[in-house]
Amino acid sequence: MHHLLPLAALLLLSIITTETKVVTSVEDCNEFFLQQTPPTIPGILEGGNIREQNRYKLICQTFEDTRTFVTLYDTQNKIPVFSAAKFRGSAAGRPSHPWMIEPQVSVLIHLFLALEDPDDVDNMRQADKNINYEHQAGDTDYNPYNQQGFDRGHLFPNSYGSNPTEKSSTFTLTNAVPQNKRFNRGKWKKMELCVKRFLDENCINNNNRKEGFVVIGAKPSDSASSGSSLLNNNKINVPSVLWSAFCCYSHSQNKWLAGYISF
């Protein structure tokens, strides 16, 4: 029995560490919001507090030990409520990066990684095509739908990333929703480009640096009213509304600028 004690102790420590990672407010990732203040999503996120903490998970999106943006994720519908980021100008190019999953969403995955490497539990990692993830979408959920007209649609787009790390980090399935292929590559892409152009040209602060804040979100479909609103055997919700909001201070215009778009 004595040889089992170190393992038991390690498991106990790992469980304790995992529990301390559960985030119930946005304070741990508030640098991605204007004045450290998150949006209000009635019934979900109010006053900076998550109402249903077992369902909605705040993810400090981390790639290569760098926090790049924040996502509030709905583990029941397996889509993000929103992703928010600080815009610092955009780097050219689109990275060729595989889609990833987020260990912070799954307690079991988080615990397993803590046993392997306690210093590497928060980094997103490549999705395993042989695994069906219980609390988040995986590659196996999306692959069949590319033939049926759905893309993995970014909320925080890679085109807004200011460097290769930030751009690559957007390829996590916790930052994606099922989007009609024509819509994603048509109207939605045009909207992203228009907002990015506006931010690049107008959002230059008093230090002559590009700076703005973006929040992009999705409203889930009512599955009871539409049989086509859920994908992959009722696992992934297809949003009924997508929206994008931004704000920044413009030194040249000496005022705050903001915009909101929804489809």
* Cα–Cα nearest to 253, from 202, 212, 195: 202
pTM given for the model: 0.84
Which residues fall within 8 angstroms of residue 3, CB to CB, at 6 or more apart?
Answer: none
- Is residue 223 within 8 Å of residue 229, measured between CB atoms? yes
Q: What is the pLDDT of residue 61?
A: 94
Name the CA dihedral angle for 144, 101, 92, 259, rounded to a multiple of 10 degrees.
90
What pLDDT tens digit does each residue of the chain (263 aa) get? 333 323 332 332 333 332 323 456 688 889 999 999 999 999 999 999 999 998 999 999 999 999 999 999 999 999 999 999 999 999 888 988 889 988 777 655 545 444 455 555 678 878 777 777 788 888 777 776 555 678 999 999 999 999 999 999 999 999 999 999 999 999 999 999 999 999 999 999 999 999 999 999 999 998 655 445 666 555 789 999 999 999 999 999 999 999 999 99
- Is residue 38 within 8 Å of residue 44, measured between CB atoms? no
DSSP calls for 122-190: SS-EEPPTT---SSS--HHHHGGGGGGTEEEEESS-GGG-SSHHHHHHT-BGGGEEEEEHHHHHTHHHH
Q: What are the DSSP E strand ranges found in the chain? A: 45-46, 49-50, 56-63, 66-74, 79-87, 100-101, 125-126, 150-154, 176-180, 212-219, 230-231, 236-237, 241-250, 255-262
Domains along the sequence of the chain with CATH: 2-262 (3.40.570)
- Is residue 227 within 8 Å of residue 192, measured between CB atoms? no
Tens digits of per-residue pLDDT, 16-38?
332 323 456 688 889 999 999 99
Residue 152: CA count within 13 A, CB half-sphere: 21
Site of tokens 């038991």? 8
